[in-house]
Amino acid sequence: MPRSDPLSLVYSNLDRVDDLGLNDDIEGDLDILRNLHLQKELSSENTAPSDAQQGDQEQKQATAEPDAIADYYGIRLSDEDIKLLSGDYWVNDNIISFYFNHLEHEVFGKHKALLILQPSIAFMLMLCSGDSDFRNNALPLSLHTRDVVLIPVTDQTHWGLLMISVASRSFRYFDSLSTPSSQHSLVTRARQLARRLAPYVWMKNGVHDDNADYDFVVEPTPQQTNMHDCGLYAMAVVDLLCERFFADEVHSLETEIHHPNRNCAEASELEPLPAKKTRPKSSLMRSEEYRCNQDIWECVTPEAIRAFRSELHRLAQETFSTPNSRTASPAPSR
């Protein structure tokens, strides 16, 4: 039985209340309802499409190009999303999610020791108000089983990056716009998120530890020269940290960031190296043109970021050029 519109039920019973002796105010309200009902009926009669018009509308809908024109490992970019990469625009979470999927599925492959958190999940964690709600969202991430976790953070006006380094019991915060205003807003949010995540990173006897000790370090980060490239810098930082994590010659992110000149022999004394990794194909920021071997941030220049934006625009256009789902073979899991 079809569900009735509540207003229609009211309208259908208006005539039954005429003889109830209601006061003038209520009678006036009922007159208004009767007029509205009459207007609604006349409007529906005048605007109802004919069968031919209905068929034309259905045909147009079936043949129209969809706004989100592909599915890329669960991520959809609309034409408007892709246009954000065509000029000096602030990139949104869809663009960042797309590039993180590109890194995870087609460049580096999945690795259980490294987790790149999607912006939507990070933002959801930042919005959780109650402890139980936060716990229900944090526990499935299995943060205590990771070596490194990369978390994009935002206050909806700026992007930064929070890195969890489990071995050093620290959170590392990267910000490409270290002005007093951004520091006051976003770094405060990052500190708050770190405080809430720490019990689920350094657990005790399999249970979250509310007294977990950790350091919070604001890392020197390449600085943007405008007010719209923060998302690109955050992606570039993730790109380079992942490249270093998977590179054959690098022991770990922690070693590379803080001891870039330590050789492999010295690094191997800290803990055994994992099984030999297959070097991934270059990511956008680590293409041969911008490859750097000295300082991890050497190639993150305004010029490189502009080239990065252009290459990412090209990648998005190529990826979403057809409405078919992505079928490329993913990089192997490790």
Can you give the residue ranges of every domain in the chain?
Answer: 6-63, 79-319
User: Which of the four CATH numbers 3.40.30.10, 3.40.395.10, 3.90.105.20, 3.60.15.10 does domain 79-319 have?
Assistant: 3.40.395.10
Cβ pair 154, 201 in contact under 8 A: no
3-state secondary structure of 219: strand
Residues in the chain: 334
The 8-class DSSP code of residue 149 comes to E
CA distance 50 to 109: 54
Looking at residue 245, its pLDDT comes to: 82
Which own/partner pairs from 6-14 qualify as long-range (CB within 8 Å, at least 24 positions apart)?
11/37
The CA distances from residue 286 to 94, 162, 174, in Å, are: 22, 21, 19
Q: How far apart are CA 2 and CA 7, in angstroms?
A: 15
Distance CA 10, CA 30 (A): 10
At 283 the pLDDT is: 66
Is pTM beyond 0.85? Reply is: no
Tokens matching residue 56: 């034309």
Instruction: Output the pLDDT for position 191.
Output: 95
Q: Could you tell me if 150 and 100 are in contact, meaning their C-beta atoms sit under 8 angstroms apart?
A: no
Quick check: 290 and 307 in contact, CB under 8 A? yes
Hey, which residues does 152 pair with through a beta bridge?
161
Expressed in angstroms, the distance from the first to the final Cα of the chain is 54
How far is residue 115 CA from its own chain's centroid? 13
Interior CA angle at 93 toward 89 and 98, to 5°? Answer: 100
Per-residue pLDDT, 270: 34
Q: Which residues of 21-41 are buried (b: 16+ CB within 10 A; e: fewer)?
A: eeeeeeeeebeeeeeebeeee
Residue 30 is predicted with a pLDDT of: 54
pLDDT tens for the chain, 334 residues: list them: 444 444 454 445 545 444 444 455 555 555 555 555 555 555 455 555 555 555 555 555 444 444 545 588 889 999 999 999 999 999 999 999 999 999 998 888 878 899 999 999 999 999 998 999 999 999 999 999 999 999 999 998 999 999 999 999 999 999 999 765 555 689 999 999 999 999 999 988 888 888 899 999 999 999 999 999 999 999 999 999 988 887 743 444 544 454 443 333 333 333 333 443 444 455 666 554 445 545 678 888 999 999 999 999 999 999 987 554 444 444 444 4
